[in-house]
Amino acid sequence: MEEHPAHPEYDDGDALEHQLRPRFLRDFLGQEQVKSNLQVFITAARERNESLDHVFLSGPPGLGKTTLATIMAHEMQADLRVTAAPALDKPKDLAGILTTLQDGTVFFIDEIHRLKSSLEEMLYVAMEDFEIDWVIGQGPSARTLRVPLPRFTLVGATTRPGMVASPLFTRFGIPVRLDYYRRGDLEAIIRRSASILEVSIADNAVGLLADSCRGTPRIANRLLRRMRDFAQVLGNGTIDGDIVREGMRRLNIDEYGLEEQDRQILRTIVEMYGGGPVGAETLAISVGEELDSLEVFYEPFLIQQGLIQRTARGRVVTSRAFEILGLPVPDEIPGRDSGGPIQSEDQRFLF
């Protein structure tokens, strides 16, 4: 049962996305280490007739966190309940769900970094002891009732693992970090989706799409559907290299997968801040973007592509960014003396 859309893009507002979402681990392509480890934990739990340990999923949007939660429920032959932290306002909202779960139910909370601290306390006890304390009445006559819960599996997902409080994070037995997908895996995902959508696609078109989708399956699927439209209206129905090149040109996506806003971010750092360093908040204002979407959507991909670096003093562009923008690479890249890249805080993850 699905309570709320996990986030506005939960199904991309499109029933087709639902059709493309893998239901079992064998259909979840790429992320081999994550997949093989999860397979072990799922098999072990099933053999012992236990529920799966709580799972923490982190990674940029569109990499498969919701999909993995769905898969875990299917593989465990258990129910799935889906919500997002912003939809949980009062303790009774959370208690109302927890008390109606069953043994083994996979309870998915998206954007878990946005969970109110008053609810975190309840979740700690629920995760660890499978019970909650419920206060009945008010004032001096109030008393606390201990309500036992079934042995559910909490799957918490976030694009901002650094914002999740340590006491919450450490209660997850299986912390998983998803990273951008490799080209070969994206190609496999595009081929699988094309076959579900029953659209024919040429080999070179698969490669071009894989290069343009920011290492993100959701974007790969979305671009595939747009290319299907272009192929149908502008071509003969087959997605070939020419269709993809024309489609990408019309969608303002370049051969590196950069959108106009990515290029704008790079140009702004170069032109307004001499290549950096510039603080994230200042940069967000300069490009007219929410800080959150700069940090969660744009920046991680630009960093992964080696176009910007996060340093102690702010963001700096790399020589590759100058090349991509068609600008002469300066002898000295500005900001390079600013302490080097900051290491990510992700040592906390199992795999």
Question: Which residues are designated catalytic?
Answer: 65-66, 110, 159, 218
Q: How far apart are CA 210 and CA 13, in angstroms?
A: 23
Interface pick for ligand ADP out of 34, 63, 287, 324 (rule CB under 6 A): 63
**Span from 62-70, 83-91, 99-107, 302-310 in contact with ligand ADP (CB under 6 A):** 62-70
Interface pick for ligand ADP out of 30, 215, 275, 277 (rule CB under 6 A): 30
Q: Is 189 in the site for ligand ADP (CB under 6 A)?
A: yes
The answer to whether 302 and 308 have CB atoms below 8 angstroms apart is yes
The answer to whether 72 and 64 have CB atoms below 8 angstroms apart is no
Q: Is 21 in the site for ligand ADP (CB under 6 A)?
A: yes
Interface pick for ligand ADP out of 3, 17, 121, 179 (rule CB under 6 A): 17
Interface pick for ligand ADP out of 51, 58, 66, 268 (rule CB under 6 A): 66
- Nearest approach in angstroms of CB 81 to ligand ADP is 15
Q: How far apart are CA 194 and CA 185, in angstroms?
A: 14
**CA count, 13 A, side-chain hemisphere, 108:** 29
Q: Is 80 in the site for ligand ADP (CB under 6 A)?
A: no
Interface pick for ligand ADP out of 45, 58, 64, 244 (rule CB under 6 A): 64
- Nearest approach in angstroms of CB 185 to ligand ADP is 7
Nearer to ligand ADP, 134 or 349 (CB): 349
- Nearest approach in angstroms of CB 303 to ligand ADP is 18
Q: Tokens 């946005």 sit at which residue?
A: 114
Q: Is 93 in the site for ligand ADP (CB under 6 A)?
A: no
Q: Is 22 in the site for ligand ADP (CB under 6 A)?
A: yes
- Nearest approach in angstroms of CB 41 to ligand ADP is 17
Q: Is 126 in the site for ligand ADP (CB under 6 A)?
A: no
- Nearest approach in angstroms of CB 232 to ligand ADP is 21
The closest residue (CB) to ligand ADP is 64
Nearer to ligand ADP, 217 or 300 (CB): 217
CA distances from 291 to 33, 87, 181 (A): 32, 22, 24
Q: Is 221 in the site for ligand ADP (CB under 6 A)?
A: yes
The beta-strand segments (E) located in the chain are 55-58, 80-84, 106-110, 131-136, 143-148, 153-158, 174-177, 308-311, 314-317
Scan residues 42-61 and list those touching ligand ADP (CB under 6 A). 61
Nearer to ligand ADP, 217 or 247 (CB): 217
Q: Nearest Cα to 292, choosing from 60, 1, 28? A: 60
* Helix (H), strand (E), coil (C) string for 241-278: HHHHHHHHHHCCCCCCCCCHHHHHHHHHHHHHHCCCCE
- The DSSP bridge partners found for residue 83 are 109
Q: How far apart are CA 316 and CA 290, in angstroms?
A: 19
Q: Is 20 in the site for ligand ADP (CB under 6 A)?
A: yes
DSSP secondary structure code for residue 21 in this structure: S
Give the CA radius of gyration of the chain. Answer: 23
Q: How far apart are CA 157 and CA 60, in angstroms?
A: 10
Q: How far apart are CA 266 and CA 261, in angstroms?
A: 9
Nearer to ligand ADP, 158 or 305 (CB): 158
- Nearest approach in angstroms of CB 220 to ligand ADP is 7
Question: Contact positions toward ligand ADP, by CB under 6 A?
Answer: 17, 20-22, 28-31, 61-67, 189, 217-218, 221
